[in-house]
Amino acid sequence: MGHLEKNFAFPIARGNSRFEGMKNAILSMAISALACACAFGASVQPLPEARAQSENPDAYKNLSSGARIKNVLLNNSVFWSRLGWPYNPPLADESGKTRMMLFDDSPERNFLRDFMDAGVKIHSTILFSGWIAPGKYDYSATDKALADLFAAAGESALYIPRIKLDVPPAWCAENPEDTTVYYPGGLSKGEIAELACTPAHDWFGIERENGYSTDTKMRGNKDPRPNVRGLIGLQSFSSEKWLRDAGEALRRLIRRIESGKYAKNVIAYHIAYGQWGETSFWRGWEKNDYRFGDYGINNLRAFYDWGIKKYGSQEALAKAWKQPDISRGNVKLPTPMRRELHWKSHADFFRASDEDKICIDYEKFCGEANVRAIDYFSKIVKEESGKAAGAFYGYYLFVPRAAYNGHVEFDALLKSPNVDFLASPKGYRNVAPGESGMEQTPPMSINLDKIFIDELDVRTHLSLWPDAKDMAGTRTMLWREFAKCMQSRSGFWWMDLHGGWFDSPEIMREIEKIEAAARQIRAKSPERTAEVLIVSDNESFLYSKPSWQLHRDLVVDTISRIRMAGVPADHYRLADLERIDLSGYKAIVFINCVRITDERWAKISPRLRPDAALVWHHAPAVWGEKYDPARSEKITGFKLAERKTSKIETVEFADGSGKKLSKDFSAPFSHNPLEKPYPTFAANASGGAEVLAKYSDGSAAFAKISAGGRDSYFVSLPVLDSGSYRKIFDAAGIASPAPAGCAVYADSRLCGIFPKNAVKFKLSLSGEFCDAITQKTLKNGDEISIPAKGALVLVPKDRPAADK
C-alpha cells in the first residue's frame, strides 16, 4: 500500500457533553495563548516559528506575539457570523448613523455561544471601518458590534475582524480621476464626478436589481440602492489616493481597537476590498457582461508608467502596444472583445499576435496592483498592531477571469513579509453530498509559505440554498470539508452566510465532534500519503483568452473527477515543482499548464520519478517565449495538431468497450452563451502514440506514449470520467484505499472516504483505526460498507510501544 501504510498513534477524544473534548484545552489557549507558546506539532513543511518551537521549545517562548498568533491561526478553527454586518459601501440611516444589513442580529449572539460551547473560540465578522464619508468617521456601529460580540461569546473569545476598505461613494465625486470607469471609457473628470452617487454608479461590481443585502427572509434589510447598468465603479485598484485614504481609515480603526478593552482578544486583521470584499476587480465575475474596467483616468496613467518601466522607453512601449502616438494621457486599452470574446484561430485564442501583448501586459499590471494593495494594507496592520494580516486571494481554480481579477500573482504575494494568511471560499460546484468538494485556490501551495484559511461555506439543509436535503447529507459535507482541510494542513472557518445554517443541536454535536478530531489531528506531525499530484498553473491564465466553458471542463470538473477516482491527491502550482519533494508521486496530472518555459522544465523534469506517469491536458506547453504548438512535443512527448472544434464533440474509446464521452457546446448551459466552442488539439499518432480514444473525425483525443519506463498520456477534450483516471492510476501502481466513485482525502493522520453511490470493499490500510464519525473500531481486512453520499473518516489508533 506504499505511503498509505503509515499511521501514527491517534486516539479520538470522547466526551459526555458538548462542553467536553476541546473545551479545557482551547480555553487555555484563549487570551493566555498570546502570552505563552502554543504546544502544537510542526507540519511537514513548517513555518519558521513552528520549526523553531519543535527544535527549541524554550527559545520559542521569546518569539514575537505575531508568531504566536500565527500558530494559533494555524491550529484552531474559526466561526464567521453576521453579527454587526454593515452595508458596503457604507450607507447612512435616517439619523446619519451607519445603516446595518440586518434589522435584527440577536440570533447571531446565540450562534456565537453555540460555537463557543462546541470548542470554537475564535470568531470573525465584518467590522465597519468607521469610514462613512470622505474625511468623516462614525464608530457607533463598530463599537456596538464589538460589545455585542464579546457579551455573547465571553471575554475568553478571540477575534478576527474583516475590514472592508472600499471607498464611500461620495469619494468618487471628489476623486473622479481615481474612480473605476467601465468600457468604453473616455469620460472626463467632470462626467465621472457627475455620475458618482447616481443610479449609474456601480456599487458592487455585480448586477443586483435589489441592491446589496442579505436575504430579507433571514432578517435582512432591503438595500434602497438598486445596482444595475453602472457606467463607473468605486476606486481604481491602482489609485495612490485610495491607498492613502483607505490606509488612514485602517490606521484609525486599528488604533481604536488596540487602545480599547478588546485589544487582547484581537489576534489578526482580515483586509477586504473589491468585489464582495474579496480583492477582485470590479465586474470580473459577471458571465455575460463586457463592461470591464478599468478605463479610468489615473489607472490608464498608472498602466503607462508600468509599461515604461517594463519596456524602458516611450518608443519601445509604442511598438510593443501598437500605439505610435502613445503618451501618458492617451493610453488605449484593448476592447473587452479583444481581451476575451473574439477569436478566429487557435493563435488568437492563445494570444499569439503582437496585438495581444497589451492584453497580457494589462492583466499582469492588474495583478501587481492588487498585490501591492494587499501588501500595503497588511503593512499598516503590522505597523499599528504587530498582529497577523491576510486577505482573500488566488481564485484561479474557480474564476475564468482570474488574471483580470488580479488573482494570479502568487509569487510576489507569498514573498511579502507583511502578509501572514490568505483565504478563499470553497468552490461552489461539485460540493453536494456524494461529490468531491472544491477549492478556489490551491491551499497546499499557499501553506508552503503562509497560512491558508478555508472558508467552509457549507450550505447545510437549513440554509436558503441547501446542498443537502437532510442531516445525513449535511453530516457528509461537514466531514468532507474538514478532511479536505486536514490533508492540505489548512485552517478553516465555519461560514454562516445567511444566519442559522448551523442552528440545530444535531449539527452542533457534529461540529463538536469535528473540533475534537481536529485538535487531535493538528497535534500530530503529518506525512503525505498521496501518490497522485495535481498540477495547475496560475501564470497560464495570462496566455489565453478567458473561456467559461473551457475553465469549467478543464479546471473545475477535471479536478473533481480526479478526486472521485478513489485515491488521495495533492495539489500544487507548477511553480512549486521546483522546490517540493516529488519522489512520492507515481502519477502527476498537469491540468492547465499552457505555458511551460524551457528553463522551468529543465528544473522540474530531473526531479520527477523516472517511472511516474504524466497526464497532460488540453494545450500543454504550447507557450514558451511565444505560442508554438510544436514545442509541446519537446516537453510532453506528444506532437499536437490544431483541429476545428465541432458544436458537438464525441470521443469513442478504442478498447472495444463501446464507451463514448461527448461534449455538446450548443446546449443551453450556465456558462457564457456568447462563447464559441473552445479550441482543441489532436495527438499525432504517427509518432508512436497509442490512440486510446478518437474524435468522430478519426483524430486522437486521448493517447498514450510508453518510453523508458514512463507512461505519458494526452487528454485533448477534458471530459474524462473518474473511472478513466482510476485506470491510469492503477496502471501506475498507485495505492487505492477506496473504489472509483469515491472522493478520498488523506495523510498519515486520517483517511476520509466519501462515495457517490453505496460501496462495499475490504479495508486495505494497515493497522487499526477509529471512525471519527461513529467511533467504531476498524482494522485492515475488515469489510467496509458506506451508504450512498455517506462518509467514513478513519483515524489511526494508538499502537503498543513495542510495535512502533
* CA gap 781, 791 in Å, rounded: 19
Q: Name the least confident of 99-103, 159-163, 558-562.
A: 99-103
Contact 9, 796 (CB under 8 A): yes
pLDDT tier at 686 (50, 70, 90 boundaries)? confident
The DSSP string of 417-464 is SS--EEEEEBPSSS-STTS---BSS-HHHHTTTSEEEEEE----TTSS
507: amino acid identity, one letter: I
Tens digit of pLDDT for each residue in 709-735?
899 999 999 999 999 999 999 999 999
Mean pLDDT confidence for 338-346: 92
Residue 341 pLDDT class (50, 70, 90 cuts): confident
Find the helix or strand (DSSP H, E) in which 154 lies.
Answer: none
Return the pLDDT at 18.
Answer: 32
Is residue 175 classed as helix, strand or coil in its secondary structure?
coil
pLDDT category, 589, cuts 50, 70, 90? very high
Question: Which amino acid, one-letter code, is at 402?
Answer: A
Beta strands 587-590 and 532-536, pairing class: parallel
Q: Are 591 and 465 in contact (CB under 8 A)?
A: no
Q: What is the pLDDT of residue 70?
A: 78
| pLDDT at residue 24, as a whole number | 35
- Inter-residue contact 404 to 274 (CB < 8 Å): no
Query: Identity (one letter) of the amino acid at 509?
Result: R
Looking at residues 101-117, what average pLDDT do you find? 96
Q: Tell which wins on pLDDT, 430 or 225.
A: 430
Task: Determine the Cα–Cα distance for residues 290 and 404; give it in Å rounded to an integer.
Answer: 12
The one-letter amino acid code at 357 reads: K
* The one-letter amino acid at 325: D
Listed in order, strand segments (DSSP E) in 320-385 are none
Q: Does residue 449 have a cis bond before it (omega within 30 degrees)?
A: no
Q: Decide if pLDDT at 687 tops 80.
A: no
Q: What is the pLDDT of residue 669?
A: 59
Residue-level pLDDT at 172: 98
Bond into 606 cis (ω within 30): no
Q: How much is the pLDDT for 212?
A: 79
pLDDT of residue 71: 85
Note the pLDDT of residue 2: 37
Q: Cα–Cα distance between 500 and 498 in angstroms, integer?
A: 7
Neighbours of 28 (CB within 10 A): 13
Question: 211 or 189, which is more confident?
Answer: 189
Q: Which of 754, 69, 744 is nearest to 453 (CA)?
A: 69
**Nearest-angstrom CA–CA distance, 528 and 554:** 26
Give the rounded percent of residues in the chain with a pLDDT score beyond 70: 90
C-alpha 568: how far from its chain's center?
A: 19
Lowest mean pLDDT among 44-48, 324-328, 456-460: 44-48
**Rounded-to-integer distance, Cα 283 and Cα 182, Å:** 9
Q: At residue 428, does pLDDT exceed 80? A: yes
pLDDT beyond 90 at 286: no
Residue 711, beta-bridge partner list: 706
| For residue 689, pLDDT beyond 80 | yes
Q: Which amino acid is located at 128 in the chain?
A: F
The helix/strand/coil state of 510 is: helix
Mean pLDDT of 648-666: 92
Instruction: Give the tens place of pLDDT for each residue, 351-410.
Output: 999 999 999 999 999 999 999 999 999 999 999 999 999 999 999 999 999 999 999 999
CA dihedral over 196, 200, 206, 208, signed as positive or negative: positive
Q: In terms of DSSP H, where are the helices of 93-239?
A: 106-117, 140-153, 169-174, 189-195
Band of residue 10 on the pLDDT scale cut at 50, 70, 90: very low
Would the pLDDT of 183 be above 90? yes
| Cβ–Cβ under 8 Å, residues 720 and 703 | no
Predicted pLDDT of residue 29: 34
Which pLDDT score is estimated for 375?
98
Please give the average per-residue pLDDT across 598-607, as a whole number. Answer: 97
Kindly give, in sequence order, each residue whose CB lies less than 8 Å from that of residue 475, ignoring residues fewer than 6 positions away. 510, 773, 791
User: Which of the four pLDDT bands, split at 50, 70 and 90, describes residue 670?
Assistant: low
Under a CB-based contact definition with an 8 Å cutoff, are residues 446 and 394 in contact?
Answer: yes
Which residues, including other chains, have CB under 8 Å from residue 668's CB and lie 6 or more apart? none
Cell matching residue 494 = 465555519
* The pLDDT of residue 255 is above 80: yes
Q: What is the mean pLDDT of the chain?
A: 90
Q: How confident is the model at residue 671 (pLDDT cuts 50, 70, 90)?
A: low
CA 335/CA 290 separation, integer angstroms:
9
d(CA 253, CA 747): 41
* pLDDT surpassing 70 at residue 12: no
- Measured N-to-C along each axis, helices 297-311 and 357-385 cross at an angle, to the nearest 10 degrees, of 100
Cα–Cα distance, 536 to 551 (Å, whole number): 12
Mean pLDDT lowest for which of 24-28, 136-140, 206-210, 499-503? 24-28
What is the per-residue pLDDT for 606? 97
Given a contact cutoff of 8 angstroms between Cβ atoms, the answer to whether 132 and 93 are in contact is: no
Residue given cell 484552531 in the structure block = 76
Residue 499 backbone class (left: φ over 0; alpha: ψ -120 to 50; beta: rest):
left
Give residue 287's pLDDT: 81
Residue with cell 489557549: 29
Instruction: Give the model's pLDDT for residue 40.
Output: 22
Please tell me the predicted confidence (pLDDT) of residue 695: 96
Query: With 60 as the cut, is the pLDDT of residue 578 above it?
Result: yes
